[in-house]
Structure 1
């Protein structure tokens, strides 16, 4: 039996096992995908434990993606530039690190909004780990401008520096969330707003940004799964909306392909993901 898994803290809520195991079943592969709850101070030991246990690969999720960069033997150049690893492949006992988050988001945006990455102008609301890999991937793969909006400007500037290190001269701007006039003006020049903060995980969360600032017909993507209050407000304002399940699906499919060497059975994995999300809610 092939063994795979996901490392996170916490990770009990993950729907990745249902999605990945459905993919393996669809291809007739005998495989299991397990959860590995791992505190930050135990991460290095966990990597060595899974290597020794014979796993063929695993995903890495919050809050470990940046730390995982330093725990693999080899790293894909794109993951190195993003400073983020969410997929580990074991080959001949050596750990290779990849990032599939940017691919997942780009594919989800094309699927949801018919919005190709090439030529797109993107605004990221929130600049934490979720935004990091996606924004760097976008800069490297054809986006023409990125705006980073964050409550703390210094954090946006740190991500901008990462983007510029990966793609010197790329047009990236940073704006403080409090400067609503500048944010509204920037949105009028963008094709899509990508909501990357944790606001919306709880029903009583406030909105990360007033929907009144959004141009009507703007594409609004929330990395959180489900119809968050922000997506609801954006929809009522006339925006096109999509939640984070598309990104989860497509980054997971890319991980699956790296492990298996086979095209991912996307339809089977999508069906299992949607079923797991319905059961969780």
Structure 2
């Protein structure tokens, strides 16, 4: 019998996860299927119970359910608890366990890109939302030298910096201060949606003071190269978009569901085909 996986979100029609996972199942010859389920927030608890009732192998969880879902699970992985959000659920004989593969997925996409020792780096993270929490806490636990959080809402930046300080030196600054001292950072990471299609002319932070040696990373992958990355590239900086993170977080979920090594390159090509179709 075909095993079913899926993704819960609202709205969900934009999701590229079905194409990505379907390509992976086909590549490995697995009798599995992946569907996008549009779950209104008021029906989230019923949808989670439906995983057990219908015997789904597991699901991904996306906006706006990543935090709310925690209360409906039987167990939550320590990293997901630290981040405060779940993006992957595994159903093991009716027991639902929540994980967060976003931060680890980002780290796996980042490490081949960085040509120096990331544990010696001072990292600036722009934003303090769910994606920022996953990335910041994962990098802090990995052991980067220092993390600075810049966010429009100062209180959220302060809270995230305090949490990261359990694992590495961390602080928060205003956006203006981050721009002024941009040369202090070895790696810049935009975790916000600023610059995403259709608002492609917007940038999250001025790069006037950018050094050419500074790595610049954007979690956005629509478009594949944001205006922010284009500006950084023109200044000679190495740039990384968010496609690798999206693929790697999906690959980690795939491996938790199947116990098999994910065909990450096949998954990446499936996403690129969807992006090229517009």
Cα distance, 1:112 vs. partner?
A: 2.8
CA distance in 2, matches of 1:95, 1:131: 25
Counterpart mapping for 1:211-222 below 5 A: 211-222=207-218
Q: Which runs of 5+ in 2 are unaligned?
A: none
Partner of 1:193: 188
CA distance in 2, matches of 1:117, 1:255: 25
Q: CA, structure 1 residues 78+200, in 2 after alignment: closer, same or farther (shift >3 Å)?
A: same
Partner of 1:3: 4
Q: Is the 8 A contact 2:127 2:151 kept in 1?
A: yes
Say yes or no: does 1:93 pair with 2:94: yes
Q: Is the 8 A contact 2:179 2:206 kept in 1?
A: no
Cα distance, 1:42 vs. partner?
A: 2.0
Cα distance, 1:29 vs. partner?
A: 0.4
Q: CA, structure 1 residues 194+204, in 2 after alignment: closer, same or farther (shift >3 Å)?
A: closer
Cα distance, 1:249 vs. partner?
A: 0.7
Partner of 2:35, secondary structure, is: strand
Q: CA, structure 1 residues 32+255, in 2 after alignment: closer, same or farther (shift >3 Å)?
A: same
CA distance in 2, matches of 1:261, 1:119: 34
Structure 2 length as normaliser, TM-score?
Answer: 0.93
CA offset digits 1:83-106 (Å, max 9, x no partner): 111100000101001111111111
Q: Is the 8 A contact 1:175 1:183 kept in 2?
A: no
Q: CA, structure 1 residues 260+117, in 2 after alignment: closer, same or farther (shift >3 Å)?
A: farther
Q: Is the 8 A contact 1:90 1:96 kept in 2?
A: yes
Q: Which runs of 5+ in 1 are unaligned?
A: none
Q: Is the 8 A contact 1:84 1:99 kept in 2?
A: yes
Partner of 2:140: 139
Say yes or no: does 1:224 pair with 2:220: yes
Partner of 1:276, secondary structure, is: helix
CA offset digits 1:24-56 (Å, max 9, x no partner): 111110111111112222222211122211110
Which range moves more in the overlay, 61-70 or 96-105?
A: 61-70
Q: CA, structure 1 residues 59+117, in 2 after alignment: closer, same or farther (shift >3 Å)?
A: farther
CA distance in 1, matches of 2:117, 2:100: 20
Partner of 1:48: 49
Length, aligned pairs only: 274
CA distance in 1, matches of 2:274, 2:125: 28
Q: CA, structure 1 residues 77+117, in 2 after alignment: closer, same or farther (shift >3 Å)?
A: farther
Partner of 1:243: 241
Partner of 1:27: 28
Q: Is the 8 A contact 1:106 1:117 kept in 2?
A: no
CA distance in 1, matches of 2:117, 2:260: 25
Which range moves more in the overlay, 123-132 or 36-45?
A: 36-45
Partner of 1:208: 204
CA distance in 1, matches of 2:245, 2:64: 18
Partner of 2:13, secondary structure, is: coil
Q: Is the 8 A contact 2:24 2:263 kept in 1?
A: yes
Cα distance, 1:208 vs. partner?
A: 1.1
Q: Is the 8 A contact 1:125 1:148 kept in 2?
A: yes
Q: Is the 8 A contact 2:200 2:226 kept in 1?
A: no
Q: Is the 8 A contact 2:179 2:205 kept in 1?
A: no
Structure 1 length as normaliser, TM-score?
Answer: 0.92
